[in-house]
Structures are given as structure tokens and as C-alpha cells.
């Protein structure tokens, strides 16, 4: 039976854990039960940090209309997520060497604790309550027999996050490292990883290079977006190339992933707002070709369509559906031979998708 998170009455405590602030909340039926409670992370002092984790969840419990069934939240790796052990010393230096945070919270609150990567939970949230049901709903309205069960996603922001959902289940991996596409090779410079081209610093770096200025003087992506849109002064050609370059790098990552995942693709994160400037290059890379004996060979068997482009969406939804007669029978069946996938922007904002992903993950495990 499919998980119906929008009608599930169970309550799950959630958390947005950052290097500066811990934001606590709770969800029931896909809805926040109160405004988030913010407490300093105290990221350099382990005892104070752990005390604030406990304090935040205790204050959250006091605001609930019932007993929570689990705690579920995102925490940046490295980590052994199934064991609840985190060792992130970049954002939270106090966790250097590994801290059994999940087991400690289970001891304090007496309920299961689930910790995951934020990129994974973003994709899971979009699979359960965002992009995946959105696309399948469009297909149903169009009368298409096609339905999708798998979703690959990336987040474009401070870094390049990723996640994979297969048939309703989040793929974690044997080392809690599934979907770590930030380590994919950068198509424009194979000596570095893809995150260096598809992230905030990647956009700033290309702008600085094209504009002939120092990286330290490069504006932030929001400002580069305004320059590209002609809304602010600056080097417009450099701004356009910065986003085009990001699109090519991200599109190559998408193409590589689609050869393994064979599902839909969702894109989120702060930089996704600049989609008009990077999506053409991303889609071109996703639909790229190799050369074999002088002939083109598609990089991905399934053709990728931009679901947010009306013309491409119409082709995607229509497909090539027709009826086939069943041999030695009077029956006929529907058949759609167009192998295809849809790529599009997240239907939820990133933090909302992560929270709903955390909620759905906990319910799926209980």
C-alpha cells in the first residue's frame, strides 16, 4: 500500500541543522504544526551543542497536540546515517571524529531517530509530495498510460547535492553515499569535480574569468542573474556564460545519472531561480550525443524533455500512444514506444522538500 503522507495523522519532529542555527519544527499530514524554534548551534562546543539539540526537541514536544512517533532530520555528512553517527567537522567542528547523535536522542526521547543527507531528503520530498506526483498527474490528465516511479534530483547552491528515489524508496547506499554527484567529473575541466562548476562558487568563478576580474571581486549569483537579465549593471556576456557553463556541467551530471537511474529529474536549490539562463545548456547536454564510426550515438536512450517548456511538455505528455492487437486474441493494449524522461524545477521550495522528505522517510520506516 502506497504511503499517504498528506493524510497520515502521525507526528514527526524535524530539524534544519546548520553551522550557525538549529531550527526545530514538527510535521503532521505534511503540515508544520508550529513556527520553527531557532537555537544557536554552538558548533564548536560539543556539550553545549548536544544540550541545544535536546532543548530544541523538548521545547517542540511541549507544543505538540499529541505524542510524536519519531525524530527525522537532515544533517550534512560525512556520516553513517543508518547508525545515526555524524562526523561533519566543516559546519560543526564539535563533531570531529564522529558523534552518535541518533542513539543519544533515542535514549533521551524514547522514539526512533532518522538522520539523512539534505540532498537525499530533498529528492524524497519531491518524490512523495512534489515533482513526481506532479508529472504523473499531468500524464493522467493527458490520458497517457505512462507513469514514473523513479526520481533523480540535484540541488544547485553552496554545493551540488544529489539524491535518488527508486520505486518510492530512498536509495542510501552501503556507505550512506548514494547520489553523491558532486564528485562527478566536470565535463569542462576533467581535472576537477562537477561541484566546482555547478555551484555558487562555480558561477562566480566563471563570471570572474570572463569579466577579467579577481574571484574575490565577483558578485553573488543573485547579482549575476540580475546582470544576465539586464536588470543591473555589469558584464552581461560574462553573466550569461557563467550560467551557460553551469548548465553544461549540470546537464552532463544528469546524463550520467540517467544511464543508471532511468527516471525523472528534478532540480532545486537557490541557483535554480536562474533556470532561464542555464536550462537550455543543461537540456542540450542531457540530450547530447557521442560519435561512433562517424555516426551519432545518444548519450541517454530516453529523450529528455523540459517539463517547464510548454511545447516540450506537450510532446512529452502526448508521447506516441497507440493500440496494439494482442496476437491470437480479440484484445487490444495501449503501447507508447517513445522512451522519454522529464526534467524540471522543484515543485516545493528546497527547505520544504527536505522537511517533507524527512517526514515521509520516518513514516516509511515505522
DSSP class per residue in 108-150: HHSS-EEEE-HHHHHHHHHHHHSHHHHHHHHHHHTT------E
Calpha distance 186→193 (Å, rounded): 5
290 and 169 housed in the same domain: yes
Asked if residue 113 and residue 192 are part of one domain, the reply reads no
Instruction: Give residues with Cβ within 8 angstroms of 260, minimum separation 6.
Output: none
Q: What is the pLDDT of residues 159-190, one digit of tens each?
A: 999 999 999 899 998 988 899 999 999 999 99
Looking at the structure, tell me whether residues 57 and 194 fall in a common domain.
no
Regarding whether 284 and 141 lie in a shared domain, the answer is yes
Give the Cα-Cα-Cα angle 164, 12, 90 (nearest 5 degrees): 55
- CB atoms near residue 41 (< 10 Å): 21
Instruction: For residue 249, tell me if it sits in a domain.
Output: yes
Instruction: Indicate whether 166 and 265 sit together in one domain.
Output: yes
Q: Which domain holds residue 17?
A: 11-117
Query: Is there a single domain that holds both residue 72 and residue 179?
Result: no
Does 44 fall in a domain? yes
Statement to judge: residues 52 and 155 lie in one domain: no
**222 and 93 in a common domain:** no
What pTM, to 2 d.p., does this model score? 0.91
Could you tell me if residue 353 is inside a domain? no
Query: Which pLDDT value is given to residue 3?
Result: 75
Low-confidence ranges of the chain (pLDDT < 70): 1-2
Cβ-contact 343, 305 below 8 angstroms: yes
**Is the same domain home to 113 and 203?**
no
pLDDT value at position 2? Answer: 66
Query: Does the residue 148 lie in any domain?
Result: yes
CA nearest 138: which of 344, 325, 316? 316
Q: Are residues 47 and 156 in the same domain?
A: no
Alpha helices in 171-324 (DSSP H): 200-211, 221-228, 236-261, 275-286, 310-318
User: Are 225 and 286 in the same domain?
Assistant: yes
Helical (H) or strand (E) element with 31: strand 31-32
Q: Residue 279 is part of a domain; what is its CATH number? A: 3.30.420.40
Does 45 reside within a domain?
A: yes
Q: Do 233 and 227 form a contact (C-beta atoms < 8 A)?
A: yes
Q: Do the domain assignments include residue 362?
A: no
Number of domains in the chain: 2
- Are residues 209 and 253 both part of a single domain? yes
Q: Is residue 2 part of a domain?
A: no
**Contact status, residue 6 vs residue 12, Cβ threshold 8 Å:** no
Could you say which of 92, 117, 142 is where a domain stops? Answer: 117
Radius of gyration of the chain from its Cα atoms, rounded to whole angstroms: 22
234 part of a folded domain: yes
* Class of residue 169 by CB neighbours under 10 A (exposed 0-12, middle 13-18, buried 19+): middle
Torsions phi, psi of 17, nearest 5? -95, 120
The helix (H) or strand (E) run that includes residue 23 is strand 21-28
Expressed in angstroms, the distance from the first to the final Cα of the chain is 14
Amino acid at each position: 500500500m502506497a504511503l499517504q503522507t498528506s493524510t497520515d495523522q502521525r507526528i514527526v519532529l524535524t530539524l534544519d541543522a546548520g553551522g550557525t542555527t538549529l531550527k526545530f519544527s514538527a510535521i503532521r499530514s505534511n503540515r508544520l504544526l508550529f513556527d520553527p524554534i531557532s537555537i544557536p548551534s554552538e558548533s564548536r562546543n560539543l556539550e553545549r551543542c548536544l544540550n541545544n539539540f535536546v532543548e530544541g526537541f523538548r521545547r517542540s514536544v511541549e507544543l505538540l497536540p499529541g505524542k510524536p512517533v519519531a525524530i527525522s532530520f537532515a544533517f550534512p555528512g560525512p556520516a553513517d546515517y543508518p547508525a545515526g553517527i555524524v562526523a561533519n567537522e566543516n559546519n560543526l567542528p564539535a563533531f570531529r571524529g564522529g558523534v552518535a547523535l541518533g542513539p543519544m536522542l533515542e535514549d533521551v526521547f524514547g522514539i526512533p531517530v532518522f538522520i539523512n543527507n539534505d540532498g537525499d531528503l530533498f529528492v524524497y520530498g519531491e518524490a512523495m509530495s512534489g515533482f513526481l506526483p506532479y508529472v504523473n498527474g499531468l500524464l493522467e490528465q493527458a490520458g497517457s498510460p505512462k507513469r514514473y516511479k523513479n526520481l533523480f534530483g540535484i540541488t544547485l547552491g553552496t554545493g551540488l547535492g544529489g539524491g535518488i528515489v527508486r520505486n518510492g524508496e530512498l536509495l542510501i547506499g552501503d556507505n550512506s553515499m548514494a547520489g553523491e554527484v558532486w564528485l562527478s567529473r566536470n565535463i569542462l575541466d576533467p581535472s576537477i569535480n562537477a561541484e566546482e562548476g555547478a555551484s555558487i562558487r562555480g558561477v562566480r568563478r566563471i563570471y570572474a574569468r570572463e569579466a577579467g576580474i579577481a574571484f574575490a571581486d565577483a558578485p553573488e549569483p543573485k547579482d549575476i542573474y540580475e546582470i544576465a537579465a539586464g536588470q543591473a549593471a555589469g558584464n552581461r556576456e560574462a553573466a550569461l556564460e557563467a550560467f551557460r557553463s553551469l548548465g553544461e556541467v549540470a546537464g552532463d551530471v544528469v546524463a550520467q545519472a540517467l544511464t543508471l537511474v532511468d527516471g525523472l529529474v528534478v532540480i532545486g536549490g537557490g541557483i535554480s531561480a536562474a533556470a532561464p539562463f542555464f536550462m537550455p545548456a543543461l537540456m542540450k547536454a542531457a540530450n547530447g550525443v557521442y560519435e561512433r564510426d562517424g555516426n551519432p550515438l545518444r548519450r541517454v536512450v530516453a529523450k529528455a524533455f523540459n517539463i517547464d517548456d510548454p511545447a516540450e511538455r506537450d510532446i512529452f505528455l502526448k508521447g506516441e500512444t497507440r493500440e496494439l492487437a494482442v496476437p491470437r486474441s480479440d484484445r487490444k493494449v495501449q503501447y507508447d514506444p517513445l522512451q522519454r524522461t522529464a526534467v524540471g524545477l522543484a515543485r516545493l521550495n528546497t527547505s520544504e522538500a527536505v522537511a517533507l522528505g524527512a517526514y515521509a522517510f520516518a513514516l516509511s520506516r515505522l
